[in-house]
Amino acid sequence: MEPFALTVALPIFSLIALFCLPSRIANRRAKLVRNLVTTVVGVECLFALSLTVGLAVKGVPSQSIKLIEVWRHLGLNLDVYVDGAASLMLMLVSFVGFVVSRFSIRFLDGERMQGRYFRWLGFTIGAVSLMVVAGNLLLFVLAWVATSFGLHQLLLHYRHRGAAHRAAWTKFAISRCGDALLIGALVLTYNAFGTFELTELFSRARDLATSASQVTASHVAIGWLLVLGAVTKSAQFPFHTWLPDTMETPTPVSALMHAGIVNAGGYLIIRMSPLVALAPTAMIGLAVIGAFTACFAGVVMMTQTSVKRSLAYSTIAQMGFMMLQCGCGAFSAAMLHILAHSLYKAHAFLGSGSVVSQALATTGAKSPQPSPRLSLAYLLGAAAISAFAHAAVSSAFDVNVVTKPGGVVLALVVCLASTTWGWRLLSVGEVTTMLLGMAGISGLCLAYTAGYLAISHWLQATTSPVAIPPTPRFVLLAIALAFCALFSLHLVVIRRVRPNWLNSLRAHAANGFYIDTVYRRLFIPLARS
């Protein structure tokens, strides 16, 4: 496995080395730089695929972690940490990075600053990749900061645009807060454990978990700092305002940001889950923050008229749901969510330019709206089909959602989502469409359960080896009620006859409930000073 890891490290450090290339030279040799970046990222993708296949063929044992020392200088080890989570995330990042690089060639063809763009694109992809495979916490934090710095440069690609400039510096301020939290966790971790090496940290966390009396306030503080650092990176409330305002950046940057970089917070929690699990209160707080963010962004998303802003709030909501999964201890479900959402969001942003044309091409006569009683019957039918399909598939795969961390709440959310989709198909009133809808719901349940089990097996040696205390029932009940309320609001919104109170709510939601206004008053004077 060591040659594999060393081979993967070569393209990563080659991309990071682009930091030393002056923008003036990069712009002068734009074609060479863009071809170099695309080729190196493609090679990294192939190496990551080979690494993942190698792990799959070899099998993923209970101790599937391989630590490789790459460089030693001044007592600092530069390690590559290879396991199931790292291989999946590296393959995802490199694949999305390669697609974005290829798309950018045509998208930015002829622009004067094209070379500078590809310089920072390659550096950012390399920094994210290094963060994924970092073997110690210090290297992880350095790659975390480097990723933020590279993204900042990409957000300022059109620096003459006022909106781009404002969004970039808002993101810069929020990221520095997250960096400070993570550095605080770094210092406390070294004081508490005396090492930065992940293998040693996880081993000692496993020993601590066997005796709750040995867990000190420092360990709890480490968990909280890691959680809050992840919250700032993944655009959770109230640190989400920068994400919808980054629409002035090139579309490929939006695709990379929404499909890759914004997932860093979730990956931090999954990677450091043995440490975070030592602070149950931090995990409960993460679940509450994630659930609130998902519901908040879901409401705002329904009111957006811009395709890209709607996708931005969709990302915030999806990241909130991912944080809810992490807070409940469902790390395998969170990893599956990262993979599926990243691929979908990359496709959505890169294809956003054709949304209007596709909508016009598929526009036809609207189906007659069913009567209220018939509509209710369709809704109940879709709910019954969804619940039965989930129960049948779970039983077939011997999955008991009651015993899974947060399983009941997460299953409820998935059922509500599939119910909405099934209700729309059943409301068409055509037999063929109804049958396709039922088959689609069943297929979705089957694919989700199979994917969850595969990821669980793949990550069995990656996530927390300790028993995670169950989330309090009153917290789970509140979260379930919040998602049921969001589901009910969505049903009201898609009706053609809407109550007056909904119009008032829409006016506030369309403006993000004015959270962005507060940030502008705070950060714009600071930036000007």
Contact 286, 326 (CB under 8 A): yes
From residue 458, alpha-carbon distances to 342, 454, 461, 462, 468 in Å are: 19, 6, 8, 8, 19
Contact 251, 288 (CB under 8 A): no
- In three-state secondary structure terms, 444 is helix
Q: How far apart are CA 116 and CA 26, in angstroms?
A: 6
Phi, psi (degrees; rounded to nearest 5) at 157: -60, -45
Q: How far apart are CA 248 and CA 169, in angstroms?
A: 13
Q: Which pLDDT score is estimated for 75?
A: 43
Query: Tens-of-pLDDT digits for all 529 residues of the chain?
Result: 556 666 777 888 888 888 888 888 888 888 888 889 999 999 999 988 888 887 777 765 444 444 455 455 444 567 788 888 888 899 999 999 999 999 988 888 878 888 888 999 999 999 999 999 888 888 899 999 999 999 988 888 887 777 777 778 888 888 888 899 999 999 999 888 888 888 888 888 888 877 767 888 898 999 999 999 999 988 898 888 888 888 778 888 888 888 888 889 999 999 998 899 888 899 999 999 999 999 999 888 888 877 778 888 889 999 999 999 999 888 888 999 999 989 988 888 888 766 656 555 555 545 566 667 777 888 888 888 888 888 888 888 888 887 788 788 888 888 888 888 778 777 776 667 677 777 877 888 888 888 888 888 888 755 555 556 677 888 888 888 988 888 888 887 777 666 777 777 888 877 778 787 777 777 666 555 5
Amino acid (1-letter code) at residue 187: V
Q: How far apart are CA 82 and CA 101, in angstroms?
A: 25
Q: Which pLDDT score is estimated for 193?
A: 87
Q: Which pLDDT score is estimated for 228?
A: 94
Contact 26, 33 (CB under 8 A): yes
Give the residues across from 67 on adjacent strands.
81
Residue 168 host element (H or E): helix 162-193
Q: How far apart are CA 387 and CA 418, in angstroms?
A: 9
- In three-state secondary structure terms, 366 is coil
Question: Which of 49, 50, 52 has its CA nearest to residue 64?
Answer: 52
First-last CA distance in the chain: 52
Q: Which pLDDT score is estimated for 496?
A: 62
What is the C-alpha radius of gyration for the chain, rounded to an integer number of angstroms?
A: 23
From residue 380, alpha-carbon distances to 374, 387, 391, 409 in Å are: 10, 10, 16, 19
Other Cβ atoms within 10 Å of 39 Cβ, number: 13
Q: How far apart are CA 138 and CA 75, in angstroms?
A: 12
- pLDDT (tens digit, 9 = 90+) per residue, 258-283? 888 888 999 999 999 889 988 889 99
The length of the chain in residues reads 529
Cα–chain center distance at 419? 24
- pLDDT (tens digit, 9 = 90+) per residue, 290-340? 999 999 998 888 888 777 788 888 899 999 999 999 998 888 889 999 999
Cα–chain center distance at 168? 20
Q: Which pLDDT score is estimated for 427?
A: 73
Share of the chain above pLDDT 70, in %: 86
- In three-state secondary structure terms, 276 is helix
Q: Which pLDDT score is estimated for 269?
A: 93
Amino acid (1-letter code) at residue 304: Q
* Residue 310 zone, left/alpha/beta (φ > 0; ψ -120 to 50; rest): alpha
Q: Which pLDDT score is estimated for 462?
A: 59
Amino acid (1-letter code) at residue 250: P
Is pTM beyond 0.85 here? yes
Contact 244, 109 (CB under 8 A): no
Q: Which pLDDT score is estimated for 61?
A: 47
Contact 387, 415 (CB under 8 A): yes
Q: Which pLDDT score is estimated for 528?
A: 57
